[in-house]
Amino acid sequence: MNAPDLKLVVDNTPATTAAGVSRFHESARAQVAGAATYIDDIPEVRGTLHAAPVCSPVAHGVLRGIDASAALAVPGVHAFIGPDDIPGDQMLAAFAHDEPVFAQGTVQFLGQVGGLIVADDVMTARRAARLVKWDIEALEPVLTPQQAHAKQSYVLPPVHVTRGDAAAALQKAPHTLAGAFEVGGQEHFYLEGQIAYVLPLEQQQWWVWSSTQHPGEVQHWVSHALGLSNHAVTVECRRMGGGFGGKETQAGHLAVWAAIAANKLRRPVKLRLDRDDDFMVTGKRHPFAYSYRVGFDDRGRLCGLELDMLANCGFSADLSGPVADRAIFHADNAYFLEDVAIHSYRCKTNTQSHTAYRGFGGPQGVIVIERIMGDIARHLGIDALDVRLANLYGITERNVTHYQMTVEDNILEPLMTQLALTSGYRERAEQIAQWNASSPVIKRGISLTPVKFGISFTATLFNQAGALVHVYTDGSVQVNHGGTEMGQGLNTKVAAIVADELGVPFERVLSTASDTSKVPNASATAASSGTDLNGRAAQFAARQVRQNLAAFVAGLDGVGAGAVRFENGQVITEKTTRSWESVVGAAYANRIQLWSDGFYRTPKIHYDKVTMLGRPFYYFAYGAAVTEVAIDTLTGESRVLAVDILHDVGRSINPAIDIGQIEGGFVQGMGWLTTEQLVWNGKGYLQTHAPSTYKIPATGDIPAHFKVDLWPEPNREDNVHGSKAVGEPPFMLAISVFEALRDAVAQAGGRPEAMNAPATAEEVLNSLA
Amino acid sequence: MRADGGSGILAIRLSICCATPPGAMLSRMNAKKPGQTLRFLRRGEAVTVHDVAPDRTLLDLLREDLHLSATKEGCGEGDCGACTVVLGEAVDGRLTYKAINSCIRLAHSVDGMAVYTAEDIASPSGELHPAQEAMVRCHGSQCGFCTPGFVMSLFGLYQNTGGGQGITREQAQADLSGNLCRCTGYRPILDAAQQMGALPLPAGCTVDEAATVAALRELKKKKPAADTPYLRPTSLSDLLQARAAHPQAQVVAGTTDVGLWVTKMHKRFPQILDVTAARELQRVETYPHHIAIGAAVTLTDAFAALVKERPHLQTFSQRFAGLPVRNSGTLGGNVANGSPIGDSMPLLIALGASVVLMRWKKTKAGGEIAHRELRLEDLYTGYRTNVMRPDELLCWIKVPRPTGHALEKVYKISKRFDDDISAVCLAIQMTVKAGVVQQVSIGAGGVAATPARARQTEAALLGQAWNEDTVMAATAALRAEFQPISDMRASAAYRQTVQGNLLRRFWLESQGQQAINLESLKTLEALS
């Protein structure tokens, strides 16, 4: 165990820079004292009512009517809110415009919201909501992507990406393998459930508190549903109690529903979902089903690949298009696919509409090629690491992706080689094989898998950001940007960037709530891009203020503006050293602008949405993990014993936060592939709808050896402070857990090629039979 | 912590959505009974809240009635720990601390206790408690929503370890097993648990134990009226008389299951009878041939008593549930509830436990306690039904003491190692003499409508030579004896296969095979 001898990480380093230091999370002190405010903690405005969703008890059917009379008879109940109460469009303002605000005509999944019950208190609303009667003529639900694919029932048209001639390459290949498998979805399980609190203001203006990764979209959706212009709606979010993609589009639904209720009743309305309802109503990570044929040579190097990917999208498109696209973009992971044909189907099923989740289709792309690597190695009887190394992208050749992007910053070979050395991968693999030979019941397995993850929104237009930096006359600084804080430490990093730019101590900079009236049209805080985009925008805003002050001071001292330095709370020229505060005060008195905006757009990126060719990513983030596991061949239970990670965050803006993202992402990925199983029964009812039945990793699941190292090289592209994005890439390091489990199954004489994810005890035992 | 699965919720939800005539529900919902006053200690001061409904949860009392928003609701079923608070009670003149889930704990049950939340433990001048400071310094808080709950579990651990001393990684993992975090991956939180003891305790953060105990004594003097919506008798005879007088009252102990009937099934309880204050039932009594565990003894304390005599139950006791659930729930409640997937019953059946049911019998002189005793497996008649009379309460669980001759093992299979409900639970006690099975009792969970004794399997073993052939025959008998169902935890086929495999494991272990379970790998770390 590496951790116990770790000393407390103290962040009071008297550094000259704020960035690069492990600053504590800007809200940590408030969070540990219970003083950090989440939306349900905001003191309620007089007259606030509480809403509960009315959820469909049937997965698919013709909706003949909803009878709320029994609910309305309950004392304390104010209203049933349904389609008739929507002043604007009956459809949500989602990309595909295919989702009704409330179920109408057809019920599309079990849990679909048909309306709300609004009452004096939340429990009254919830109890009454269950008294509402649905009149539904049941239809046969489509519950699996295979069923949908057979019917050609899709939420969006299929996408095909090909290079070379995969069929011909397969024909010529010395070896071929074919396979099929399934990977389950994943519930976000943000600890703070979905919530929105809507206040009517004067003159048809609205204030919305939303736990959202995308305040701008909530603003857009609410104004669309209310039939108003965007400027009439302000959305604020100080922080979320976790997001992970689950509060990208899904938060919008709640805000729209609460706003419709507030509009009808002319009262503030809060809608906080009970955890079970949250599971039943909101979308999850897309489950995927795959089939493939792969050809390879004697070293295991790929010759050709044909891959079909069926994404279970649920009943509507939501973000399924870009999620399935990213799965295509990451089906190569670290490897050069010369002759390849990928067919991606966006299957429509009668389940929750699956949505963004950390990795956004990337994990579903990476896992399939990593699985293929493992199967090739076993087929050839060589170590899987050697197969992986043989297939890596080259530096000057074999370096163009199947979507025609040249991989310019490839560090995979040295990174994987170093990790293999420091983790003792090869020696341990040998020891494990020996150990297994004399262990009758317990078998171990080990795997090293890499990740290469493309950074940028694949929709190029989203790669823009704005920020405001305000310097007040006392020298204190406020920064506001279009990103949102969900625990990932964005505000801490941005404050450090601003502090550095102005040369003031970290503590002088305060980050404030995301607010659509401050920075407009912001993209979702997603795609790992929060710091890249908003950090740069804030840096530019601060730079503008600094330049104003530098010009002012240069004038006072008769030096060039470039000769003015801002360091340690001081403003220094060759002639004078002044305190930051005195310069700010003097500048104000001389009518110098002490605040500014900043704007950033990511350079170099472009791609054709139709052909899916181009450079969708500014750069790649890399990493690799070695995981050792053990399985119990009598029960199928497993344990993760040891994990070594080497991950690339460029030059870290905050190492503690980055390591936190890596460890947290890894453990979340481990949950996806082991214990987190979503089970829908034959009627489309999600049986695992609470933590009693849906098991995310707990304290006891953490490996006894869990070591994370950072790759020491800065980003080769010009990114803020030389850093790289870190939110999503580490999630895919957990694929090493799955591959190690399959290695253990193989060493136990089982059928690793039969194992689906998640590798529950039952799944492992089945693959041993 | 749901003692039973989500399938029950499904049935109830759908029937309400589609079928239940509204009137039946409404009349109960409208029946507004006046609430009653409760008092507890917060930061050394008595807090009095009037007119609190008997089925109000502690979390709702804190957040909605007292506007104390530090404590969060994550799941409303005691499975995530975001709502963790610490209860302080005076026991033999000393203050004991228990982290519990406030979301499924009834508010009135903390009457007369000290309640600590995350907003209570920093010093008045704002210096953080070491449990908080360590979380900051170890970067143990990301989104922060689970954080107050973790902080309170850490606070309980701190207070119970003399200031966070000597906390091992294993203890930290065990004590935090009822708190879920989705951001950090736990490593920094486990570090905080181990390092908080090294931080100075600010003067303003010290709990004045003597003053608190004295204040609690004062608080206890104010007794509620005899016939109130929330009945909490302090003696066994009062409890049994209250049961006889109020057969309609919902009986509760730690409410780790009944709490969910309130929060998830939306049941209302106009009157509640809480057994946990009856002082006779708060004890574990030791006799020459058995120990007797009172119905008010928490799972934490009950398992401590069992582990004391049977150290091999240590892991099982920790896996039973997260600590906040074990600190609130009682063994008596688990047994009386009779869930087919409750984990204590297979074990207790295998150990030959019995239960003592008591009631108040009227006599000419007024009345007396009547009791009867039956073997645990004879308590149940079907899915969550039992032989108890309406005026009876399950008061004691008697567990035979180990003889030293028998081999005892209990196996639990679940998706997640900690804080999960069994897919299969199998407990075996067997005595082999001269190579022949002389005695055997097998308890099985997760395979039938009730916790069950595997009598046919026992018959296949009893009197047989303890060898491979017998194990094969017994395995076949065990797989044939029960017809488990398929649900979200496991398929019927898996349950059947694994039951037999667990019997096989028992055989291998009886033959001295070591290192054939995953727990044994802890001692094999040298390899990695």
| pLDDT for the residue numbered B479 | 94
| Domain tally, chain B | 3
Q: Using pLDDT thresholds of 50, 70 and 90, give the confidence band for residue B489.
A: very high
Q: What is the DSSP letter of B407?
A: E
Tokens of B499: 């039951």
Q: Using pLDDT thresholds of 50, 70 and 90, give the confidence band for residue A16.
A: low
Tokens of B370: 């009547």
Same structural domain for residues B189 and B238?
Answer: no
- Which residues have CB under 8 Å from B145's CB, separation 6+? A38, A190, A191, A192, A241, A242, A487, B72, B74, B82
C-beta atoms of B498 and A6 within 8 A: no
Task: Annotate A240-256 with DSSP letters as a single string.
Answer: -S--TTTTSSHHHHHHH
Residue of A nearest to B418 (CA): A700
Under 8 Å between Cβ of B255 and B232: no
Same structural domain for residues B351 and B314?
Answer: yes
Contacts of B423 in chain A (CB under 8 A): 761-762
The CATH number that applies at residue B243 is 3.30.465.10
C-beta atoms of A762 and B490 within 8 A: yes
Q: What is the pLDDT of residues A103-147, one digit of tens each?
A: 999 999 999 999 999 999 999 999 999 999 999 999 999 999 999
In a domain, B524, yes or no: no
Quote the CA–CA distance of B60 and B72 in Å, as a whole number.
10
C-beta atoms of A192 and B143 within 8 A: yes
Same structural domain for residues A316 and A376?
Answer: yes
In a domain, A161, yes or no: no
Quote the CA–CA distance of B231 and B249 in Å, as a whole number.
9
Contacts of B14 in chain A (CB under 8 A): 57
Same structural domain for residues B122 and B94?
Answer: yes
Same structural domain for residues A452 and A489?
Answer: no
Same structural domain for residues A121 and A201?
Answer: yes
φ, ψ dihedrals at A528, nearest 5° = 65, 5
Same structural domain for residues A585 and A453?
Answer: no
Q: What is the pLDDT of residues B358-368, one digit of tens each?
A: 999 999 999 99
What residues are paired with A188 via a beta bridge?
none
In a domain, B31, yes or no: no
In a domain, A14, yes or no: no
Same structural domain for residues B394 and B480?
Answer: no
Same structural domain for residues B391 and B490?
Answer: no
Q: Which of A601, A626, A643 is the last residue of a domain?
A: A601
Residues of A assigned a catalytic role: 728
* Nearest Cβ partner for A275 among B76, B174, B494: B76
C-beta atoms of B185 and A702 within 8 A: yes
The CATH number that applies at residue A576 is 3.30.365.10
C-beta atoms of A191 and B180 within 8 A: yes
| Averaged pLDDT, A701-713 | 96
In a domain, A453, yes or no: yes
Q: What is the pLDDT of residues B407-432, one digit of tens each?
A: 999 999 999 988 899 999 999 999 99
Contacts of A677 in chain B (CB under 8 A): 415, 488
Same structural domain for residues B184 and B77?
Answer: yes
Tokens of A193: 């459930």
| Averaged pLDDT, A222-242 | 98
| Averaged pLDDT, A448-464 | 96
In a domain, A549, yes or no: yes
Tokens of A672: 């996806």
The CATH number that applies at residue A123 is 3.90.1170.50
The CATH number that applies at residue B432 is 3.30.390.50
> Cβ–Cβ contacts within 10 Å for residue A592, how many?
18
Taken as a whole, chain A contains a residue count of 769
Under 8 Å between Cβ of B328 and B276: no
Contacts of A698 in chain B (CB under 8 A): 177, 180, 186, 322, 416-419
Q: Using pLDDT thresholds of 50, 70 and 90, give the confidence band for residue A217.
A: very high
Residue of A nearest to B169 (CA): A4
Under 8 Å between Cβ of A167 and A352: no
Q: What is the pLDDT of residues A156-205, one digit of tens each?
A: 999 999 999 999 999 999 999 999 999 999 999 999 999 999 999 999 99
Contacts of B169 in chain A (CB under 8 A): 1, 3-4, 704
In a domain, A344, yes or no: yes
Same structural domain for residues B375 and B497?
Answer: no
Quote the CA–CA distance of B23 and A466 in Å, as a whole number.
56
In this predicted structure, the answer to whether residue A625 has a pLDDT above a threshold of 80 is yes
Quote the CA–CA distance of A146 and A276 in Å, as a whole number.
27
Please give, rounded to a whole number of angstroms, the shortest distance from the CA of A131 to a CA of chain B: 6
Residue found by looking up tokens 């503006």 in the block:
A561
In this predicted structure, the answer to whether residue A553 has a pLDDT above a threshold of 90 is yes
Q: Which residue range(s) make up the domain with B501?
A: 406-519
In a domain, A515, yes or no: yes
* Short-list A348, A319, A277, CA closest to A126: A277
Same structural domain for residues A596 and A684?
Answer: no
Q: What is the DSSP letter of B198?
A: G
* Short-list A262, A253, A266, A255, CA closest to A209: A255
Same structural domain for residues B265 and B398?
Answer: yes
Same structural domain for residues B249 and B390?
Answer: yes
Q: Using pLDDT thresholds of 50, 70 and 90, give the confidence band for residue B223.
A: confident
* Nearest Cβ partner for B77 among A34, A440, A692: A692
In a domain, B251, yes or no: yes
In this predicted structure, the answer to whether residue B5 has a pLDDT above a threshold of 50 is no
In this predicted structure, the answer to whether residue B9 has a pLDDT above a threshold of 80 is no
Task: Name which of B30, B63, B139 to mutate to probe chain A: the one with the most chain A Cβ atoms within 10 A of its Cβ.
Answer: B139
Same structural domain for residues A506 and A418?
Answer: no
Please give, rounded to a whole number of angstroms, the shortest distance from the CA of B185 to a CA of chain A: 4
* Beta strand B354-361 pairing with B393-400: antiparallel
In a domain, A349, yes or no: yes
* Nearest Cβ partner for A126 among B186, B191, B266: B266
| pLDDT for the residue numbered A7 | 40
Contacts of B504 in chain A (CB under 8 A): 634
Q: What is the DSSP letter of B257?
A: T
Q: What is the pLDDT of residues B383-399, one digit of tens each?
A: 889 999 999 999 999 99
What residues are paired with B441 via a beta bridge?
B429
Q: Which of A551, A570, A601 is the last residue of a domain?
A: A601
Same structural domain for residues A369 and A422?
Answer: yes
C-beta atoms of A696 and B182 within 8 A: yes
Q: Which of A601, A627, A660 is the last residue of a domain?
A: A601
User: Which whole-number Å values give the CA distances from A208 to A126, A215, A271, A520, A659, in the listed order?
Assistant: 22, 9, 11, 15, 34
Same structural domain for residues A424 and A524?
Answer: no
B107-126: b or e for each residue (b if 16 or more CB lie within 10 Å)? Answer: bbbbbbbbbbbbbbbbeeee
* Nearest Cβ partner for A34 among B148, B522, B527: B148
* Nearest Cβ partner for B143 among A9, A241, A695: A241
| pLDDT for the residue numbered B342 | 82
Task: Annotate B2-66 with DSSP letters as a single string.
Answer: -SS-HHHHHHHHHHHHHT--HHHHHHHHH-----EEEEEEETTEEEEEEEE-TT-BHHHIIIIIS
In this predicted structure, the answer to whether residue A11 has a pLDDT above a threshold of 80 is no
Residue A586: exposed, middle, or buried by beta-carbon count in 10 A (0-12, 13-18, 19+)?
middle
C-beta atoms of A660 and B189 within 8 A: no
| Domain tally, chain A | 3
Residue of A nearest to B267 (CA): A127
In a domain, B19, yes or no: no
Under 8 Å between Cβ of A289 and A310: yes
Same structural domain for residues A591 and A691?
Answer: no
In a domain, B202, yes or no: yes
C-beta atoms of A435 and B488 within 8 A: no
In a domain, A172, yes or no: no
Please give, rounded to a whole number of angstroms, the shortest distance from the CA of A700 to a CA of chain B: 5
Q: Using pLDDT thresholds of 50, 70 and 90, give the confidence band for residue B519.
A: confident
Contacts of B528 in chain A (CB under 8 A): 428, 628, 641-642, 704-705
Contacts of A73 in chain B (CB under 8 A): 22, 26
Q: Using pLDDT thresholds of 50, 70 and 90, give the confidence band for residue B27.
A: very low
Please give, rounded to a whole number of angstroms, the shortest distance from the CA of B157 to a CA of chain A: 15
Same structural domain for residues A508 and A535?
Answer: yes
| Averaged pLDDT, B282-298 | 97
* Nearest Cβ partner for B142 among A25, A38, A701: A25
Quote the CA–CA distance of A407 and A615 in Å, as a whole number.
10
Under 8 Å between Cβ of A182 and A209: no
What residues are paired with B356 via a beta bridge?
B373, B396
| Averaged pLDDT, A274-296 | 98
Minimum mean pLDDT range among A339-348, A582-591, B378-387: B378-387
In a domain, B295, yes or no: yes
| pLDDT for the residue numbered B22 | 39
CA dihedral B400, B403, B404, B407 (to 10 degrees): -60
Same structural domain for residues B243 and B381?
Answer: yes
Q: Using pLDDT thresholds of 50, 70 and 90, give the confidence band for residue A502.
A: very high
* Short-list B479, B439, B472, CA closest to B456: B479
Same structural domain for residues B362 and B278?
Answer: yes
In a domain, B133, yes or no: yes
Quote the CA–CA distance of B131 and B140 in Å, as a whole number.
11
Please give, rounded to a whole number of angstroms, the shortest distance from the CA of A680 to a CA of chain B: 8
Query: So what's the ipTM on this one?
Result: 0.97
| Averaged pLDDT, A488-500 | 98
C-beta atoms of B416 and A695 within 8 A: yes
In this predicted structure, the answer to whether residue B29 has a pLDDT above a threshold of 50 is no
Q: What is the pLDDT of residues A398-421, one digit of tens each?
A: 999 999 999 999 999 999 999 999
| Averaged pLDDT, B222-234 | 84
Q: Which residue range(s) make up the domain with A265?
A: 46-140+194-272
Residue B512: exposed, middle, or buried by beta-carbon count in 10 A (0-12, 13-18, 19+)?
exposed
Under 8 Å between Cβ of B474 and B461: yes
Under 8 Å between Cβ of B444 and B495: no
Under 8 Å between Cβ of A120 and A78: yes
| pLDDT for the residue numbered B138 | 97
Tokens of B139: 């970067």
- Which residues have CB under 8 Å from B414's CB, separation 6+? A695, B319, B420, B421, B422, B423, B489
C-beta atoms of B143 and A239 within 8 A: yes
C-beta atoms of A486 and B520 within 8 A: no
In this predicted structure, the answer to whether residue A9 has a pLDDT above a threshold of 50 is no
C-beta atoms of A440 and B488 within 8 A: no
Tokens of B70: 């530090």
Q: What is the mean pLDDT of chain A?
A: 96
Q: Which of B195, B223, B251 is the last residue of a domain?
A: B223
Under 8 Å between Cβ of B16 and A131: yes
* Nearest Cβ partner for B517 among A632, A666, A692: A632
Sign of CA dihedral B307, B310, B314, B319: negative
Q: Using pLDDT thresholds of 50, 70 and 90, give the confidence band for residue A8.
A: very low
* Nearest Cβ partner for A691 among B29, B75, B169: B75
Same structural domain for residues A77 and A213?
Answer: yes
C-beta atoms of A660 and B183 within 8 A: yes
Same structural domain for residues A686 and A719?
Answer: yes
Q: What is the pLDDT of residues A677-703, one digit of tens each?
A: 999 999 999 999 999 999 999 999 999
* Short-list B59, B55, B56, B57, CA closest to B70: B59
Residue of A nearest to B257 (CA): A692
Same structural domain for residues B215 and B263?
Answer: no
The strand order across the sheet containing A577-579 reads A565-567, A570-572, A577-579
Q: Which of B349, B380, B402 is the last residue of a domain?
A: B402
C-beta atoms of B527 and A431 within 8 A: yes
| Averaged pLDDT, B314-323 | 91
> Cβ–Cβ contacts within 10 Å for residue A720, how many?
25
* Short-list A489, A620, A6, A642, CA closest to B184: A489
The CATH number that applies at residue B84 is 1.10.150.120
Minimum mean pLDDT range among A56-65, A351-360, A603-612, A728-737: A603-612
Quote the CA–CA distance of A6 and A27 in Å, as a whole number.
23
In this predicted structure, the answer to whether residue B528 has a pLDDT above a threshold of 70 is no
φ, ψ dihedrals at A36, nearest 5° = -80, 130
Task: Name which of B183, B323, B495, B519 to mutate to probe chain A: the one with the most chain A Cβ atoms within 10 A of its Cβ.
Answer: B183
Q: Which of B402, B420, B441 is the last residue of a domain?
A: B402
